[in-house]
Amino acid sequence: MMYLTPCDPAAWCTPRSGEVRLGQTIHALAQQSSSEDYRAALDAAYQQGARIALVGVPESIGPRGNLGRGGAETAWPTALKGLLNLQATPFIASHELLIVGHVECADLQQQSAALSTQNDQDVQQLRDLCAQLDQRVMQALVPLFEADYEVILIGGGHNNAYPLLRSLSEVAATAVGAVNLDPHADFRAREGRHSGNGFSYAFTEGFLSNYHVMGLHEGKNNAESLRQLADAGFTYTSVHELYQSEWPQQLASLRQRARDWSQPVGIEIDVDALQGVPASAINFNGLSIQHGYSLIAELATLPQTRYLHLAEAAPSLHPAGREAGDMACAQLLSELVLAYLHGVQRRTP
């Protein structure tokens, strides 16, 4: 069974006479009944020029398994509304984009809805559901990396870093690297899968060999997770260092670090690194959207960059309500997708 639901781009855009929106021009994968059909459809789209696959994972199981709040399940449709209503112009390489659709999560979400984060048995069930979700996400991702697509994944929680890293590593037959813009290292104990331990699981299982966290807040990570991060040989630049340094120099250093890894690289963005973005752990002291945009655009210029993961946006958690959250997340997520596309356009071998 394929746990993948297609997307009709035209359904998400509002046409206007004399204008052409992305939703009217972008290619989308049709319903696929088997993994063989899925792989064949990906190959056909690749032959027609598609190079970057857009995938959604509308769930909040991982954040709740990490004792956080739900809400990330609505980021995917919100992102589609923002992205697909942008103007189709030569400045956006929409011909390279393929909307694959979203990983089917509704049944798992429904099972999780009655579970309480205040009950230990329920929390374990949430973590078991997250492990089931990992398998579904990998079912969508492995054929994409095998077909040489780059991936933009919109969650969902940061738990989806694990199936991204594992899928990329297994296809590349080597451990991979990741840069994570995040106040949290997400290197918590391996106590069952959730949004706080995607990188620790990926490292322990041999899929992640280089990892750098940008904007880590040392007061928002427990001592054990920071010790485990250091023991793994991984590094971070604290948010307080960033407050007192020149961002262009930090970016140049980060790009060189990732290049020197000489391995496939993933860009990880927890939107709660950015100031005021509605998320399970909303951050009023975060970095600016300019920081997020420029980091993505810079790292996307590297030939070994293979994916962008936009995690943890939760429109319903905006302090001013759902409508304000939808507007904020639609604009933010579409802008960060554009950052990746703009970086790819500047890429040199």
Decide if pLDDT at 182 tops 80. yes
* Ramachandran assignment for 186, one of left (phi > 0), alpha (psi -120 to 50 degrees), beta (any other): left
Structure letter (DSSP) for residue 91: T
Q: Which residue range(s) make up the domain with 54?
A: 4-345
Give CA–CA dist 349/326, Å, rounded.
Answer: 38
Number of domains into which the chain is organized: 1
For residue 158, what is the domain's CATH number? 3.40.800.10
Give CA–CA dist 210/179, Å, rounded.
Answer: 9
Taking the CA of residue 345 as centre, how many other CA atoms within 13 Å lie in the half-sphere pointing to its CB? 14
Decide if pLDDT at 91 tops 90. no
Are the beta carbons of 42 and 147 closer than 8 angstroms? yes
CA-to-CA dists, residue 343 to 31, 135, 314, 322, 347, angstroms: 30, 30, 26, 31, 6
Alpha carbon 310 to chain centroid, angstroms: 3
Decide if pLDDT at 325 tops 80. yes
Decide if pLDDT at 300 tops 90. yes
The residue-averaged pLDDT of 10-27 equals 93
pLDDT at 249: 98
In degrees rounded to 5, what are phi and psi of residue 72?
-70, -10
Task: State pTM to two decimals.
Answer: 0.98
pLDDT at 307: 99
pLDDT at 93: 84
